[in-house]
Every structure is written in structure tokens, then in C-alpha cells.
């Protein structure tokens, strides 16, 4: 029977089905029993767990890693592959993350947090001091045109926004078709930064994208522009970002990802009035978690079937060798 370590919050139905079929040890947050890891054939994890070479040394039986999410920046995929460990992702969160990006975009554009606080303090007159911006007719710049970026483009187009796209592989036919469907235009990074009223980041964290937006890039943004990041924090250089938000060079921002997670409560970013933050909950919808659970089950079932077939093949080869031995 497969031994599985689930080091993640997982849909109850999926976890129950796994437990009925396999030997499952579940840690919702931190791993508390490393002996279970040392015996595990399969690891299911989310973003809080960093799987590097030292971690893999403690899991010598591991044959499969499944990320209950899309990004693999917390997994040393190259080292896992070198050890013959397959790495799978569960790309189910496009709609949920795009909708959260829209939520942050609207919250920043209409100064939602300041207005909520004002009315709770009895300051009705704040309505005369707070003038927001509407989305229709404005320009949305999307950095990264994968599943989430495409969903964000559809939302922007449906709201009457002009959509500009920056992608490292814009020539892919499927991307061109998706762009055409929402009348979006591929453009250079510089053009987007200089033209957009709002920039929404939907790129993975890779050596090519880390620190992609530094002081020079942020300086190209229009003073009334806002930045939304539901991808990875390290795509934007922290120092210049803080400076732009403090000085008003950048009108505001919405973040679901942080340079350190969990984010410390005394992080200066949380104290900025023009910033709206959520605790990395882009994929936290019932529908997304249910689909992630389904994909986890499917990935493990396939791995188990192939494992059994390979074992049977080895046995058959051994039998033939004995039978044909002179």
C-alpha cells in the first residue's frame, strides 16, 4: 500500500478518499513526525513547505511530489528529477486568483479600506474627500499570459477595460487566440508600464522574472497607476516598491503575496494606507480546493497504477529469466 504524507490543507472529501485507499499521514501545517516522511512514497504539499536537497535526503522512498497549487518555486525540481522523483502540479486556481486580483483592483481603485474605516469611526464626511476611479475605459496591463493572465484579461475586457499583455512567449497560437477573443494587444514591458492605469502580475517566480520590476521599471509607471500582485512577491524589488508607495509615485497596490510568509504583523508594507493586503488566499475557494483535491487523487491513482505495472513487469522478467536459464 502506498504511503502518503499530506503536508497541506486538502479538501475533506479528497483527504477522506485518500485515507480509505492508502496509508496517509496528514500534517495540516508543520511536519511533526519525520519517520512518516522517511517511509513516504508520495508527498502532497502547498507553498509553505520548502523541499530542497536536504529535505529530499530525509525522504529516500519518495517517488512522487504533488503541489496542491500551480507554482513550484518552493520545490527543487531539478534535484527531484535527478533522483527519479516525479513532480506534478494542480493548475486549478485560474478563476479564483483572477477574481481575487479583481477584488484587490477594485478595493484599491475605490479606496475601500479607508472608506470602511471612516464609516466605522462615524466619519460620514469622508465621502466628500474620497474620489476613486472607475475601471471602464481604463487600461489594464497584464504581466504573464498563462491560465491566470488569460482569465484576468477576460475579466478586464468584460468590464470595458483596454487590455495590454506582456508575455515571454507571445507567439504561442493558443495565447494569440485567447488575446484576440478579449481584444487584448501584446506589447513590450516598457509600453505597458508607461500606458497602464493598473498593472496586474501573473508570472511564476523564475530566475528570469525575479526582480523584474526594479527602480527603473517602477519609475515608468504613471503617478495614478496601481500595482496588483497575486503571483510572487520577488518579481518586484521591495525597496523601490516601498519608496514608490510612500512617495505617491505609485498611487496604490494590492498584494496577496509577500517577501516573507507568513508576513510579520510589523511589516511596514501593512501600514501603508494605499495598500490592500490578503494572506495568500488566491486559491482559497470551495470550488478550487475541490478541483485541486480531484487532481491530487487522479495523480496519485495514476502513479500507483504505473507502480504496480512496473512491479509486475519486473516479476515477469524475473520469472522468464529463471525459466530460460540453462
Query: Which residues are 227's β-sheet partners?
Result: 199, 253
Does residue 46 carry a catalytic annotation? no
Sheet with 42-45: strands ordered across? 23-26, 3-7, 42-45, 64-67, 86-89
Catalytic-labelled residue, pool 46, 109, 147, 232: 232
Helix or strand holding residue 163 (H, E): strand 162-166
Residues present in the chain in total: 326
- Rounded to 10 degrees, what is the CA torsion of 227, 232, 238, 240? -40
Q: What's the rounded Cα separation, in Å, for the pair 24 and 169?
A: 40
Does residue 232 carry a catalytic annotation? yes
Catalytic-labelled residue, pool 147, 151, 280, 291: 280
Q: What's the rounded Cα separation, in Å, for the pair 79 and 253?
A: 36
Sheet with 198-201: strands ordered across? 185-186, 162-166, 139-143, 198-201, 226-229, 252-255, 275-277
Q: How far is CA 240 from CA 142, 196, 250, 280, 318, in A?
A: 20, 19, 10, 22, 64
Q: How far is CA 160 from CA 95, 100, 137, 151, 157, in A?
A: 19, 18, 6, 15, 5
DSSP 263-292: PPTT-GGGG-TTEEE--S-TT-SHHHHHHH
Does residue 79 carry a catalytic annotation? no
Catalytic-labelled residue, pool 261, 273, 310, 315: 261
Which residues are identified as catalytic? 232, 261, 280
Amino acid at each position: 500500500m502506498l504511503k502518503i504524507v499530506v503536508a497541506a490543507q486538502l479538501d475533506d472529501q479528497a483527504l477522506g478518499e485518500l485515507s480509505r485507499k492508502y496509508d496517509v499521514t496528514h500534517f495540516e501545517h508543520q511536519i511533526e513526525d519525520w519517520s512518516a516522511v522517511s517511509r513516504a512514497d508520495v508527498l502532497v504539499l502547498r507553498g509553505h513547505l520548502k523541499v530542497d536537497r536536504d529535505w529530499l535526503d530525509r525522504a529516500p522512498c519518495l517517488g512522487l511530489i504533488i503541489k496542491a497549487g500551480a507554482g513550484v518555486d518552493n520545490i527543487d525540481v531539478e534535484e527531484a528529477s535527478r533522483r527519479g522523483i516525479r513532480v506534478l502540479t494542480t493548475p486549478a486556481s485560474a478563476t479564483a486568483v483572477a477574481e481575487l486580483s479583481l477584488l484587490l483592483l477594485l478595493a484599491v481603485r475605490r479606496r475601500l479600506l479607508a472608506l470602511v474605516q471612516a464609516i466605522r469611526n462615524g466619519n460620514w464626511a469622508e465621502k466628500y474627500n474620497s474620489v476613486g476611479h472607475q475601471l471602464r475605459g481604463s487600461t489594464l496591463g497584464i504581466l504573464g499570459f498563462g491560465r491566470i493572465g488569460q482569465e484576468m484579461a477576460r475579466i478586464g475586457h468584460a468590464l470595458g477595460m483596454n487590455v495590454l499583455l506582456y508575455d515571454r512567449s507571445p507567439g504561442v497560437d493558443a495565447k494569440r487566440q485567447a488575446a484576440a477573443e478579449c481584444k487584448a494587444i501584446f506589447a513590450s514591458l516598457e509600453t505597458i508600464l508607461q500606458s497602464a492605469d493598473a498593472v496586474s502580475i501573473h508570472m511564476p517566480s523564475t530566475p528570469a522574472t525575479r526582480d523584474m520590476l526594479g527602480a527603473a521599471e517602477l519609475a515608468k509607471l504613471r503617478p495614478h497607476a496601481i500595482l496588483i500582485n497575486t503571483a510572487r512577491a520577488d518579481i518586484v524589488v521591495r525597496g523601490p516598491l516601498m519608496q514608490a508607495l510612500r512617495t505617491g509615485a505609485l498611487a496604490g497596490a494590492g498584494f496577496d503575496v509577500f517577501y516573507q510568509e507568513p508576513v510579520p504583523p510589523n511589516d511596514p508594507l501593512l501600514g501603508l494606507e494605499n495598500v490592500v493586503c490578503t494572506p495568500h488566499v488566491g486559491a482559497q475557494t470551495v470550488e478550487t480546493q475541490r478541483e485541486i483535491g480531484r487532481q491530487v487523487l487522479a495523480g496519485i491513482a495514476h502513479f500507483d497504477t504505473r507502480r504496480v505495472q512496473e512491479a509486475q513487469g519486473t516479476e515477469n522478467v524475473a520469472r522468464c529469466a529463471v525459466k530460460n536459464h540453462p
